[in-house]
Structure 1
C-alpha cells in the first residue's frame, strides 16, 4: 500500500524510522527493537542509509525484510548525492520489484570525508531534482523533508519554504519534518506553507532525548534550537543517564500530546534504533489523541 492512500482513512499516522545496523550485535538489538515496536502497529516505517549512499545495500535488504517478511508498510530513504540517472533507474526498479512503493527522496549528505557538495553533472543537485525525476515514473508515493526552523544552508525560512514548494510542485505527496523541540515552530511553519499553496500533509518528526550531549550535537548539525527550559531541566542531570532518560521521555510525551491536541496529523518518531524510549512514549500518549 502507498502511504498517501493511508491518509484517506487515517487522519493521523504514527511511524518509526530505523537505520541499518553495522555490526552483528547491532543486528540482534535491532531485531529485538523492531519486534517491540511492531506491537504498536505503526502506520509505516522508514529506513535510512549513510552519507553518500553508504550502507545502501543493507538498507534495501532491511526494507525487503520489513515489507515482505513482516508485512509492514515500508518507506525507503533515497538520496541523489553523486547519483547517475542509470543508478537511480536501477535502484528504483529494484525497490519497485520488491513491492517497496514508498520513498523519502532527499539530496542527502556529502560522502564521508567530503565537506562540501560537488556539482552533479547529471542534474541531481537538489532534492527537488530527484523528486521531479522519480515522480515522472508514476510508480511511487513520494515523501520529502521539511525544516520547521529552516534548512541550515538556506538564507532564511522564506527561502527554504520556496525550495519546499519546488519539491511539492515536482511531485512530493507528503512531507516529514526534521526534529524540533518547540511546537510553535512547527505550527508557524505549517501556516506559512499553506499560505504558499503547499497543501500536502506535513507530519512532524520528533526525537526522544535520551542522551544530553548527543541531542546537543544533533541540534547543532540540524539547526534545531533547544529551548532554554529543556536545557535547565536536563543540565543538572547530564551525568545521570537514567534521570536524563526519564526527563527526556516526559518531555517527548508532553510535546507529542501538544502536537496532536493542536491538530498535527500524527507523529514520525526518529527511534535511533532504540525501542524502549519510543514504546514508553507511545504507550503513555492520551489515546483519545491518537485516533
Structure 2
C-alpha cells in the first residue's frame, strides 16, 4: 500500500524533468573562473539553457557578455543573455543584441530592468524601448531569437494589481515571447493559482516556476522585498538563527526547496528554473532529488572541452 503520509520526499520523481539555471555576472576575473566552474559542475545535468543576469541600469553589461560567451565556450551549454532596456537607447540595445547574434547567442531573457538607484521609479530612456514588451518586439525584428520573459506569481511591485500584471505579461507574449520564467515564490499554490489566471487571460506559452534555494536569510529578505515575493512565516521561523551555521543552513535550504519542488512535481510541473546564486551544490542536490542524474557529455561538449 502506497501511503502518501509515509512516502519519502520526492519519492515519485522519476527524473522526467527539464531544468535551467540562472547565474549572476562575475565582478572579477577570479569570480568568472568560479562561475565557469559552477556552470561546469551543473552541465552534466543537461540543462535546457543557462542564463546570466544583467545589473540594474545595465551596470554589468561587459561582465554579462563575458560570462555568457565564456560559459558557451567552456561548457558547450546553451547560454542565454539577460538584456534590459533601462538607461539605453534603442540603437544601443540593438547593437548589443546584434553582437550577441554575431557571437552565436540565440536566446535572450528580455526584461524591463531596474533603475540604477534603489527605490528610484522606473523611467524609460527618451530614445529607448519603453518596456519589456517593446524590447521583445524589437529583438524579434532584429533576429529570430528565442526570447524568455519574466512573470510574477505575486504581481510585480510596480503593478497596481494582478489583472494589470497579467495584462503586461500578455503584451510580452503577444510581442513574441516564447516562454515566461517566474520570480521565486514559496508556495506551490501561489504558482498554480497564477498559472490558472494566466491561462484564463489567454497566455498560452510555457510558464516555468523559478526556484530560489535559500543561501542567506538577509539576502532572501532583500530579494523578496525587491520583487514582491512573500516569505511565509513558517520559513522565516525555520531559517531564523542559521546565518552563523552555513552547513545547517544548507541542509534546511535544500529541504525547503525540495518540498516546494515536490509539491510542484505532484501538480504536474516538469520544468524548473533555478536561481543558483552562483553555487552549484545546493541546486545540484535538489535536481538529484528530482531524479536527475549526470548524463554523458554530448559530442559538442566533448569538442569544447577538448579544445579548451
Global fold match (TM > 0.5): yes
Q: Aligned to 2:159, what secondary structure does the other structure show? A: coil
- Tell me, yes or no, if structure 1 residue 146 matches structure 2 residue 160: no
Provide the rounded CA distance (Å) in 1 between the counterparts of 2:29 and 2:117.
22
User: Residues 131 and 171 of structure 1 are in contact (CA less than 8 Å); yes or no, is this contact kept in structure 2?
Assistant: yes
Instruction: Report the more deviating stretch, 25-34 or 194-203.
Output: 25-34
Task: Give the paired residue count.
Answer: 279
Distance 1:113 1:216 in 2: 15
Are residues 232 and 69 of structure 1, via their aligned partners in 2, closer, same or farther at CA, if it must alter by over 3 Å? closer
User: Which residue does 1:283 correspond to in 2?
Assistant: 288
* Distance in 2 (alpha carbons) for counterparts of 1:287 and 1:26: 27
**Correspondence list, 1:71-82, <5 A:** 71-82=76-87
TM-score when normalising by structure 1: 0.90
1:174-220 per-position Cα deviation (integer Å, ceiling 9, x unaligned):
10000111111111001010011100000000110122222111111
Q: Deviations over 1:244-287 (max 9, x none)?
A: 22111111111112212212241100001111111111122245
- TM (norm. structure 2) is 0.85
- What is the RMSD of the two structures over their aligned residues, measured on CA atoms? 2.0
Unaligned runs of 5+ in 2: 1-15, 294-308
Partner in structure 1 of residue 75 of structure 2: 70
Structure 1 segments (4+ residues) deviating >6 Å: none
Displacement of 1:134 in angstroms is 1.5
**For each residue in 1:139-180, what CA deviation from the matched residue of structure 2 results, as whole angstroms up to 9, or x when unmatched?**
201111000000011111111001110111111111000011
The answer to whether structure 1 residue 207 and structure 2 residue 233 are counterparts is no
Of 177-186 and 22-31, the range deviating more from structure 2: 22-31
Which residue is equivalent to 1:36? 41
Q: Which has the higher contact order (CA 8 A, sep 6+)?
A: 2
Deviates more, 1:69-78 or 1:173-182: 69-78
1:156 equivalent to 2:161? Answer: yes
Larger Rg: 2
Contact 2:195–2:207 under 8 Å retained in 1: yes
Query: Which residues of structure 1 form unaligned runs of 5+?
Result: 1-10
Partners of 1:123 and 1:25 lie apart in 2 by 34
Deviates more, 1:153-162 or 1:24-33: 24-33
Are the counterparts in 2 of residues 203 and 267 from structure 1 also a CA contact under 8 Å? yes
Aligned residue for 1:104? 109
